[in-house]
């Protein structure tokens, strides 16, 4: 009985640890990785196809079911503060897994986890993009920090 309990506890911890394994990418890292002709650094390419975590503000540029949205370093609502959003390099195109269930708040930071893609891609519906997260799960990032361009990035994430 005790061994069964121990196994269940170990499995639970292992699953929880597996869920937290995705390395976190910041917008500063994304910006730094961009090279000429829509290319990105090898290090950024090494994340492609793997699960990553990115935190940012949701900009609902797609349908209201949030099956597609933009994740941005800057909130879409702050009209009279912060700097202007810059565009391609600081925007991640997020294709959500079915059934995103969040309370949308334009002023909250959300944590997005999913399969990362880097480099130029042209989607028939949403056009050209540099960074994408597919099959994404979304949740509120409590106490999250958004790293600004030029600010020291967090410790390097392991691909």
Partner 1 sequence: MRYLQGRFVASALTAVSIALGVGLVIASVLLTRGVKQSFVDGTTDYNLIVGAKGSPTQLVLNVVFRMDTATPNILYRTYGYVRDDARVDVAVPVAMGDAFQGVRYVATTPAYFAAFPWRRKTFAIAAGRFFRDDVPDHPAYEAVLGADAARRTGLRVGDRFYEGEEMAEYPLTVAGILRSTGSADDQAIFFSLPSYWAMNEVARKMQIKPLTAVLIRAKRMSDLPSLHREYNVSAETQAVFPSAVLLQIFNLLTLAEDVLAMILAIVAIVVALYLFVSMYSATLERKREIATMRALGARRGTILAIVLLESVAITFLGAVLGLGVGHGIAYVGSMLLASRGGPIVNPFAVGALQPVVFGSVVIIGALAGLLPACLAYRTEVAANLAPLS
Q: Which residues bind partner 1 (CB under 8 A)?
A: 59-66, 69-70, 72, 74, 76, 79-80, 84-88, 91, 93, 103-104, 106, 124-130
For partner 1, give the closer residue by CB, 67 or 159: 67
| Residue with Cβ nearer partner 1 (3 or 79) | 79
Smallest distance, Å, CB 30 to partner 1? 12
Give least dist CB 27 to partner 1, A: 12
Residue with Cβ nearer partner 1 (124 or 150): 124
Q: Which string of DSSP letters, residue by residue, matches 94-115? A: EEEPS-------TTSEEEEEEE
Nearer to partner 1, 73 or 111 (CB): 73
The number of residues making up the chain comes to 159
Least Å from the CB of residue 80 to partner 1: 7
- DSSP for 7-20, written as a single string: HHHHHHHHHHHHHT
Q: Are 22 and 135 in contact (CB under 8 A)?
A: no
CB-wise, 55 or 91, nearer to partner 1? Answer: 91
Residue 45: what are its φ and ψ, rounded to 5°? -65, -30
Shortest Å, Cβ 142 to partner 1? 18
Phi, psi values for residue 57, rounded to 5°: -90, 145
Continuous segment of H or E residues that includes residue 29:
helix 27-33
**Residue whose structure tokens are 């990105």:** 40
Q: How many CB atoms lie within 10 A of CB 116?
A: 26
Q: CB 101 → partner 1: shortest distance, Å? A: 9
Give strand pairing partners of 138.
Answer: 112
């Amino acid at each position: 009985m005790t061994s069964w309990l121990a196994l269940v506890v170990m499995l639970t911890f292992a699953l929880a640890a597996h869920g937290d394994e995705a390395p976190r990418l910041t917008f500063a890292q994304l910006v730094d990785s961009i090279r000429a002709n829509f290319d990105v650094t090898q290090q950024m390419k090494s994340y492609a196809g793997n699960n990553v975590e990115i935190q940012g503000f949701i900009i609902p540029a797609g349908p209201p079911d949030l099956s597609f949205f933009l994740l941005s370093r800057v909130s879409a609502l702050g009209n009279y503060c912060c700097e202007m959003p810059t565009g391609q390099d600081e925007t991640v195109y997020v294709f959500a897994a079915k059934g995103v269930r969040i309370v949308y708040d334009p002023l909250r930071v959300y944590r997005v986890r999913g399969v990362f893609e880097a480099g130029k891609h042209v989607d028939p519906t949403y056009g050209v993009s540099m960074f994408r997260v597919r099959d994404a799960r979304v949740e509120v990032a409590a106490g999250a920090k958004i790293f600004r361009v030029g600010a020291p990035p967090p410790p390097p994430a392991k691909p």
